[in-house]
Amino acid sequence: MPDQIIVIHRWSDRYADYASYADHDALHVSYVTTGRAAGSLPEGAAAVRIVRSTEDGKEVRAAVASLVEEFGRPARIIALHEVDLDIVAELRGELGVPGETPGELAPFRDKLVMARRLAEAGVPVPATAPAPDRAAVAAFAALHGWPLLVKPVRGTASAGVTRLASPAELDAYAFPRDMPMLVQPYLPHDILHVDGVSTGTGLGAWRASRYVNTCLEFTEGLALGSVELDDPLLIEAVGAFTGRVVRALSQDPWVFHLELFLSGTPERPELQVLEVGARPGGAEVPFIWKEVHGVDLMAAAFALQMGEPLPGACRSLSGTERGGWLLVPTPVARPCRVVAAGPRPSGGERAGRTADGEHAGPYAERVPVVGRTLAGHAGYEHSGARFRYRGPGTAEVEAAIRRTISDFDFRCVPVDPDAPERVVLVGSGGRAYREYAFADAAARCEVTLVAAAEPTWQSGYLAGHRTVADSGADALTRAVGECVAGAPGPAGVFTWDEVLLEVTAAAAARLGLPHMSPSAARNCRDKLATRRLLREAGLPGVRFAHVRSREEALREADAIGYPVVVKPRSLAGSVGVVVAHDAGELTEVYHHATEAAYPGLDPLDGLLLEEFLSGPEISVDSVVHDGDARPVNVARKRLGFDPFFEEVGHLVSPWRAEPWADDLIDLLAEAHRALGVQTGLTHAEVRLTAAGPRLVELNGRLGGDFIPYLGKLATGVDLTAAAIDLALGLRPEAGQSRDICAEVRFLYPPEDGVVGSLEVSDAAAVPGVVEVVRLAEPGARLLLPPRGVVPRLAAVIVTGDTPGDCGRALDQASELVRAEMEPIGGAS
């Protein structure tokens, strides 16, 4: 087995390009990350473990322990974010893995050790002392005066830093629990930051920048910017000073982010160390270095933690272009919702040009869309808005930054947790199949519909709607954002339409709303991706192949063994799925899969060929919250029209005492983890083979064919309400209140034909029948499989104490449904 590398990862954005740092084919690269950050991981990860926070040492240790148990002790453990360096250093010591130890890390993470080490080396640093209580701070103030700063010993990004200007403010200050603090004088000087690489013998590539406002002011609500310096006199002084600092702290190569106080005069600048970190700078620094200077500081840090030499590009920096960045905080307390984010209505030139023609705006930006919900701890990555700049010199870049500060209109409103909840439903579905779900949704919260057509029968269930002809992610995001922006309280979005799952996931991600991630949605929609991920996760095997021609299918079928199933990669409703028992049948039926189409879905490249799984087929609806997948509803499929997989009925009945129940629960937990599904309501198709349950596919939405309705009748669990809870970021109760049986049987015409009339009243009166739903209106043209898609006349829905009770009621009611059909001659 190749060496395992474990990476602790916390960024949602692509600050680090791990795929270019480590060969994911030659090495076994595993990740410990959060659900929020999992979407930025590269393809080819050997394994992924999700934790609530990478700062939760207990969870991170448990995740690493599971990777060690599965793949053995890692060759290296890597972390590139400053806050994660501590736990990684501890893990290295605990597991005997090479790399920086806690003691070696201390001068860069413990600011008391840092200040002492620098002072001993004669490097100017402000007076620094422990601040365990008010008495210690008061004693420090007696020596050094007011104002002063109290800050965490191991903090980052000015989190927890407080400016105290008087004894009264000290009396009112609440010391954080279980967090060592220190105290320093408050210095009203300019603050510089210096980013770069120490080669071990001197400075490699480096750049000095000046902050626009300060990190502390950013925590208080002001925008924070930075611009690289081009003053040769100041650069010379900063370079000499930086060389002293890096030599004082380490004789080995390292990537540094150094912050300095600047005072004195332009001719004789005076510098002191504010703090220094052994990692790439935060905010937009890594992007500026890659995009403006062509140097990847993250790659350098990764290489050093791998025990490899510095990349050659990090040893010097050429070019005269200067970069800069700007972070704009949210203007009100979180959680809040964006109501404006763009140029001011008066017509600022944020993205225009100045009078002399020079570019006036940023070259890259991350601006939240209107309607986005901003929640949780912001930090630099998740600040309100982010901008990056480049230009010929400091003055030009700083002017562009200040122009953005002046012209950017950014407004948010607080989310009122006590206001009515609103969920935006994307797509409707047909009335016959989804009206029950509309009723259940409207009973749970306000429902707003975004769909391609104006609502008709849906109107009675809606608090509002938006009509969107364009089903692309941009248009859908705008429409959902408009619906959400008008909601004063908690809001969410979901869809039960397979066609709209991926685009809804993309919109939810852009709007900051709880939902299955876009990557997880893709993994569910692409059946080939599903198979590959399940195989990589070591789940019970299903032999499969990706084929692009009939000849290739015949070759692969010989290797797999007959019978085989051939299916399109991303269609729905079992369209184009067909079984072949030998080469002759495969040759004959192959075209059904290649020619299959489903409105709104791209079949993707090639087909999926799978071994035929023998045994009963079931579907399982699961509630997934924070990575915990709980199966709540099992329906036993009734299949017909062999060799096609037409679903002609479903039975929901008690299942937890079945001999396969525990294996099913384990299989689904692992499958959701493998596909990256962290939240949402899912609908799995499973075969109960002689060797145990085997996953056929996992769909990232509410089940169709009335299955959720059957579940509510049989168990009392309202899956639509559960889906809404998940869309609002809540954990559904999903507790059963009963455990009986409910079944649906779909009625089909005996042959291809046009519906003349349909009478169901006698069938509806049969004891045990809950409802008979008309699925075809007079004039409907129904073609049996494989010529038509779900050519159903009606659905008979019944309940009973046993499956036998349901079957008898269905038989009696089905005989009483009267349909007049006009045969279609010569159908093919």
290-339 pLDDT, tens per residue? 999 999 999 999 999 999 999 999 988 888 999 999 999 999 999 999 99
What pLDDT digit, counting tens, does each position of 415-435 carry?
A: 999 999 999 999 999 999 999
What is the average pLDDT across 214-225? 90
Cβ-based neighbour number of residue 323 at 10 Å: 23
**415 near 335, Cβ under 8 Å?**
yes
Say if residue 786 is preceded by a cis peptide, omega within 30 of 0: yes
Residue 353 — very low, low, confident or very high, per pLDDT cuts 50/70/90?
very low
Kindly give the pairing relationship between strand 28-34 and strand 47-51.
parallel
Which CATH number, 3.40.630.10, 3.60.15.10, 3.30.1130.10, 3.30.1490.20, labels domain 127-185?
3.30.1490.20
Indicate if the pLDDT at residue 493 is higher than 60.
Answer: yes
Mean pLDDT of the chain: 93
- pLDDT score, position 237: 97
314/255 Cα distance (integer angstroms): 9
828/819 Cα distance (integer angstroms): 22
For 680, left (φ over 0), alpha (ψ -120 to 50), or beta? Answer: left
Number of separate helices (H) and strands (E) present in the chain: 24, 38
Residues near 523 by beta carbon (within 8 Å), at least 6 away in sequence = 529, 530, 533, 675, 676, 677
What pLDDT digit, counting tens, does each position of 622-642 carry?
A: 999 988 999 999 999 998 888
Residue 209 — very low, low, confident or very high, per pLDDT cuts 50/70/90?
very high
Q: How far is CA 827 from CA 224, 786, 791, in A?
A: 70, 11, 14
What pLDDT digit, counting tens, does each position of 758-798 carry?
A: 999 999 999 999 999 999 999 999 998 878 778 999 999 99
More confident residue, 538 or 513: 513
Percent of the chain at pLDDT > 70 equals: 97
Long-range contacts of 50-57 (CB under 8 A, 24+ apart): 50/627, 50/673, 50/678, 52/626, 54/8, 54/9, 54/10, 54/81, 54/83, 54/84, 54/87, 55/83, 55/84, 55/87, 57/87, 57/90
4-99: CATH topology: Rossmann fold (3.40.50)
**30 near 60, Cβ under 8 Å?**
no
644/707 Cα distance (integer angstroms): 20
**580 near 547, Cβ under 8 Å?**
no
530/238 Cα distance (integer angstroms): 53
Q: List the end-to-end C-alpha distance of the chain, in Å, as a whole number.
A: 54
Say if residue 329 is preceded by a cis peptide, omega within 30 of 0: no
Q: Which of 260-269, 464-473, 546-555, 594-603 is predicted with the least confidence, judged by mean pLDDT? A: 594-603
CATH number of 188-319: 3.30.470.20
Residue 826 — very low, low, confident or very high, per pLDDT cuts 50/70/90?
low
Which tokens go with 482?
């408009």
Phi and psi at residue 216, in whole multiples of 5°? -65, -40
Q: Which of 426, 790, 724 is nearest to 572 (CA)?
A: 790
What pLDDT digit, counting tens, does each position of 654-710 carry?
A: 999 999 999 999 999 999 999 989 999 999 999 999 999 999 999 999 999 999 999
Instruction: Indicate the domain borders of the chain.
Output: 4-99, 127-185, 188-319, 321-415, 422-515, 543-611, 613-739, 743-823
60/39 Cα distance (integer angstroms): 18
**Domains 188-319 and 743-823 fall in the same CATH topology:** no
Phi and psi at residue 546, in whole multiples of 5°? -100, 120
Class of the CATH-defined domain 743-823: alpha beta
Cα-Cα-Cα-Cα dihedral of 759, 765, 766, 767, to 10°? 160
Q: Which of 341, 322, 358 is nearest to 407 (CA)?
A: 341
Residues paired with 343 in a beta bridge:
408
| 8-state DSSP, 39 | G
611/531 Cα distance (integer angstroms): 12
Which tokens go with 45?
């990860």
CATH architecture of 613-739: 2-Layer Sandwich (3.30)
- pLDDT score, position 357: 40
What pLDDT digit, counting tens, does each position of 569-603 carry?
A: 988 777 888 899 999 999 998 998 888 888 888 87
CA atoms within 13 A of residue 514's CA, in its CB half-sphere: 24
On whether the 543-611 domain is CATH 3.30.1490.20, my answer is yes
Class of the CATH-defined domain 321-415: alpha beta
- pLDDT score, position 1: 56
Kindly give the pairing relationship between strand 4-8 and strand 28-34.
parallel
Handedness of CA 93, 96, 99, 104 (dihedral sign): positive
Phi and psi at residue 433, in whole multiples of 5°? -90, -20
What pLDDT digit, counting tens, does each position of 103-140 carry?
A: 999 999 999 999 999 999 999 999 999 999 999 999 99
422-515: CATH topology: Rossmann fold (3.40.50)
805/766 Cα distance (integer angstroms): 12
